[in-house]
Amino acid sequence: MLKIDNNGLIRFFDGELVRIEPWGKNSLRVRATPIGRLDNEARALLDINEEKAEIEILEDCATIKNGNARAEIDKNGKITFYNQRGEKLLEEALRLNPLKTPARFFKGNHLGKYQLTMTFESNPEEKIFGMGQYQQELLNLKGAVLELAHRNSQASVPFYLSSLGYGFLWNLPAIGEAIFGTNLTKFKAESTDVLDYLIIVEDTPAKIVERYMEAVGKPPKMPEYALGLWQSKLRYSTQEELMSVARKYKELGIPLSVIVCDFFHWPHQGDYRFDYDYFPDPLAMTKELAQMGTELMVSVWPTVEKGGESYEEMLEGGMLIKNDRGSFMQMDCVQPAVFYDATNPDARQYVWNKIKKNYYDKGIRLFWLDEAEPEYMTYDFDNHRYYKGHCAEVGNVYPVDYLKGFYEGLIEAGEKEPICLIRCAWAGSAKYGALVWSGDIMPTFEALRCQIRAGLNMAIAGIPWWTTDIGGFDEGDPDDEDYRELVVRWFEYATFLPVLRMHGYRAPYIPAREGATGAGQCFSGGDNELWSYGEDNFQIMKDYVFLRERLRPYLKEIMDVAHKQGTPPTRPLFYDFPTDLKCWEIEDQFMLGNDLLVCPVCYLGKRQREVYLPSGSSWIDAFSGEEIQGGVSIIVDAPIEKIPVFIRKGSELTTELFKGE
């Protein structure tokens, strides 16, 4: 049965209900369920289904049109999507006799819901971008198999942009899988009773991403104080240690936007306060930093330790994540702990009340939400239950709700430009001020190459504010010459990211204080300041800090565009040059705004690299001033102190910005 229902097209057959409806301009939302009724959950989407659809029911099919997007559903229930020119974009893979394979397949599971498989026909020439952050040297995801689940350094943000001219959001937070094969495209959800996806049809990649951001929410304004250098290490273990670093930056005349008080500055996990034995006067600390023009950011973990101040109250109030089997403990770092249930609004409010009293009221407005996946000891996704449902069904929404609690608290407290550094994200995280970083990555050039791809795919997936640990997180010896080169190359690259951030667990390893309690129980790492990597490298990185400062007006401008339009500050070349087919192939260069082409050096010992200059513009070498017509590949010199950067001709930016202090 096909019918029109409240601006939507309905098909009901053999217990399956399918609904196709407009959801924003040039977009169609598709939902289906085997239980005969649809829920009212928007999931990642905002309520923007105000467009009027054109619906026609014919003898053997029906069509629904919303602007550029048109869908046809045939008598067998197969849905095919077209653009405004009648070109086929995406087609469900319904294969009847003799294969008998449905496109939408719900199979009962042991959790009382359904395992869902959604299959589309695949165009082998299609290129796929987005889907979040995966640690691999792939920008184009065609041929990739992706786990739809969060892990430390992996963030599933299930929106992709196709070179065929459409965007696709898999609007389910269930644990699952995406397969972009050459013969089939397939999405799986481990537990659900609904299928939900959105397709956006526009003429350019920029319009697709901007339309998607209208659907899931654009970021608030990036605060101007966040645009300079952020200093962090694992970890400043006392107030005096942290302040001595901030004071040295001040003495050296190096502007410092943010300094970080990392994890285990607290007595117990879940206390959500400083351990006053090690940080005796937080208010005095924030006041002195403010006089230097530096913000203090504090790390917050969602873990709650048995024996801490909050454990019994949160346990009694049902505010902790539950396990179906095995130990109640879910994380073991210094002391065993469980995760608080951020999908529970009461738990979010409880945590924020402590944060406000113990941090915000002491002058701290910048928070680092670590362990946001959350990072279970073992990722047994079928073992955990949340307030919103079983992890297998809703697990990927956890970082959104974790962030939402802080965003709402900051807004209520009067902040106009809330931002939180967070280690994970899902679709829609940006609207809550998510600044995502790429987790505990390795200190290698291979990892650097992976971050370039990961950051660009996060941008396409709707996370415009993204950064990374300069030099990688795990280990790294500041006295090793090869590692020093890696840090310098990474720093040069990070100068052109939304946030420039030093962080890492450096040699030498510093064990916990013997017999200590509270914050003293935690280990630490070696120095990780600009001056920790030798005098020559210090001067190079210092120069890039001042370059970053000179770029502040430009950075502010493109951050404001991200707020107003959802346009990511950093993006692949095809975003700005979609008609240049070569730009769809380039994976190790990117645009920062409309006018800067950035070409990182990401191999040890390399002092030259190949650069492609997109056609349609002339380009000016930012350091030498040489002008080159676009549409060509060139070999450029890249001594250790230089990352190749080109200015688009006609820009207000000039080479004077790149000529030192």
Cβ–Cβ contacts within 10 Å for residue 642, how many?
18
Distances in Å between the Cα of 629 and the Cα atoms of 15, 464, 480, 649 are 61, 30, 40, 9
CB 267 within 8 A of CB 354: no
Distances in Å between the Cα of 356 and the Cα atoms of 260, 267, 533 are 18, 17, 37
CB 180 within 8 A of CB 131: no
Q: Which of 373, 492, 576, 621 is an active site residue?
A: 373
Residue 313 dihedral angles phi and psi, to the nearest 5°: -65, -40
Q: Which residue reads 């370039």 in tokens?
A: 452
Alpha carbons 257 and 292: distance in angstroms, whole number: 9
Alpha carbons 428 and 294: distance in angstroms, whole number: 30
Burial 416-437 (b: 16+ CB within 10 A, else e): ebbbbbbbbbbbbbbbbbbbbb
Displacement of CA 650 from its chain's centroid (Å): 32
Cβ–Cβ contacts within 10 Å for residue 10, how many?
19
Q: Which of 72, 370, 469, 529 is an active site residue?
A: 370
- Of the candidates 123, 417, 374, the one whose C-alpha atom is nearest the C-alpha of residue 269 is 374
Contacts of 483 (CB under 8 A, 6+ apart): 443, 471, 476, 477
| Secondary structure of 251-274 as H, E, C letters | HHCCCCCEEEECCCCCCCCCCCCC
Alpha carbons 104 and 119: distance in angstroms, whole number: 7
Task: Please calculate the CA angle 83-8-78 and round it to the nearest 5 degrees.
Answer: 60
SS3 542: helix
Cβ–Cβ contacts within 10 Å for residue 390, how many?
22
SS3 470: coil
Task: Please calculate the CA angle 264-454-612 and round it to the nearest 5 degrees.
Answer: 140
* Distance in angstroms between the alpha carbons of the first and the last residue of the chain: 71
Dihedral of the alpha carbons of 381, 382, 386, 388, in degrees to the nearest 10:
100
Decide if 370 is catalytic: yes
Displacement of CA 442 from its chain's centroid (Å): 18
Q: Which of 440, 474, 549, 587 is an active site residue?
A: 440
Residue 91 dihedral angles phi and psi, to the nearest 5°: -140, 130
Q: Which residue reads 């034995």 in tokens?
A: 277
- Of the candidates 431, 422, 461, the one whose C-alpha atom is nearest the C-alpha of residue 342 is 422
SS3 85: coil
Residue 483 dihedral angles phi and psi, to the nearest 5°: -70, -35
Decide if 580 is catalytic: no
Q: Which residue reads 């080109």 in tokens?
A: 646
Decide if 485 is catalytic: no
Segments of 349-455 assigned E as strands: 366-369, 384-386, 389-390, 420-422, 434-437
Segments of 277-334 assigned E as strands: 295-300, 303-305, 322-323, 331-333
Amino acid at 133: Q
Q: Which residue reads 């950051």 in tokens?
A: 455
Burial class (CB in 10 A: 0-12, 13-18, 19+), 332: exposed
Distances in Å between the Cα of 395 and the Cα atoms of 108, 160, 217, 374, 392 are 19, 20, 20, 9, 6
Residue 294 dihedral angles phi and psi, to the nearest 5°: -120, 135
Which residues participate in catalysis according to the annotation?
370, 373, 440
